[in-house]
Chains A and B, each alone.
Chain A
């Protein structure tokens, strides 16, 4: 957890280059996209950029929404709503400094609004929700994905979201704070609590 404290305090972490290499290897699913150029095209009204944006961001948005709402149907609605908002506000997209964080932030807030509107679903069990998926050809990893999904289902949504953004979207704590609208220290605290809880759950199931 020392690296967590260093990052929160804004201190450089020793061996940052190695960390970035490890991080890049750990997040092959985060595509390298020229977000600024994509948003500039959208700001100019280029509708073909919507397709490129979907390819680049839909999976991340869907994943974030799924981890928040616990419902594939609701997560699909979130993706549609986010793209609708992008289209409606396309003139202002050129001013967005960090397009990826902005998109994830919009998705986060839309997901929270949707969860509030559909309180009934919040009471439904999340054990069957596929929070994670394995590569198609790997059956052993598919079992791991199922097991990890069951563990993640037992976390509070706020902790689950932070773990998603940190591990699967490769965001820094500061970026997660911007996306979720909470202070960086709160993000780090949620992350630490979530990881500790997952660890305890894993020890209990092994």
Chain B
């Protein structure tokens, strides 16, 4: 242990840190004793209720829940941003992007089947299948 110069070693030899001031002991022990008694008197639930880490944990949990709630209810769903982006592109005049977003149709002149017209078309198709013998097995056997 010769890491320090001899003169410094000699100077420090026998010297000590100073004594704490008089009166500090009484003051310190009185304060610490009161704190100890106060702390020992608190039951388990009071300690949990007054625990700072647990309060922080509660606050963080509540914050996360609020953020998640806002995220789920207020923000658009996963598909919406893409659709909105296509609409924006179309509005901005980018026709090519708008065409990609539009579904292709086999017959541009076709109209949707609605009400009795739809029933009529379906019945005609079933009649054709029966006459041609392309229906289910029971019909073919009869």
A→B interface (CB under 8 Å): 1-4, 13, 19, 22-23, 26, 29, 42, 45, 47, 50-51, 54, 58-60, 62-64, 66-67, 72, 75-76, 79-80, 83-84, 86-88, 90-91, 130-135, 138, 141, 144-145, 147-148, 164, 167-168, 195, 198-199, 202
Contacts and interface: CB of A to CB of B under 8 A. Distances in A.
11 contacts: A13-B1, A29-B16, A58-B24, A59-B20, A60-B17, A80-B27, A133-B15, A135-B14, A138-B14, A148-B15, A195-B5
Of B3, B9, B31, most buried by chain A (CB within 10 Å of CB) is B3
Contacts of A164: 17
Interface residues of B, number: 33
B67 interface: no
B29 interface: yes
A80 to B, nearest CB: 5
Interface stretch (B32-40, B78-86, B120-128, B129-137): B32-40
Contacts of A29: 16-17
B31 A83 contact: yes
Nearest to B16: A29
Nearest to A86: B32
B8 to A, nearest CB: 5
Contacts of A84: 31-32, 35
A47 B37 contact: yes
B24 A132 contact: no
B28 A4 contact: no
B18 to A, nearest CB: 4
By CB atoms of chain A within 10 A, which of B1, B2, B17, B29 has the most?
A: B17
Mostly, the A contact residues are: helix
A60 B8 CA distance: 21
Given A1-B3, A91-B39, 14 more contacts: A3-B1, A23-B1, A45-B36, A45-B40, A54-B29, A59-B17, A62-B24, A66-B17, A76-B24, A131-B18, A135-B14, A141-B15, A199-B5, A202-B7
A88 B39 contact: yes
B55 to A, nearest CB: 16
A83 to B, nearest CB: 4
Given A47-B33, A87-B33, A88-B35, A130 B12 contact: no
Q: Which 6 A-B pairs have the closest CB atoms?
A: A63-B17, A87-B35, A83-B32, A87-B36, A62-B20, A133-B18
Contact of A144 (B15, B20, B21): B15
B13 interface: yes
Nearest to B39: A88
A58 B15 contact: no
B25 A54 contact: yes
Nearest to A76: B24
User: Max chain B CB contacts within 10 Å: which of A86, A87, A198, A199?
Assistant: A87
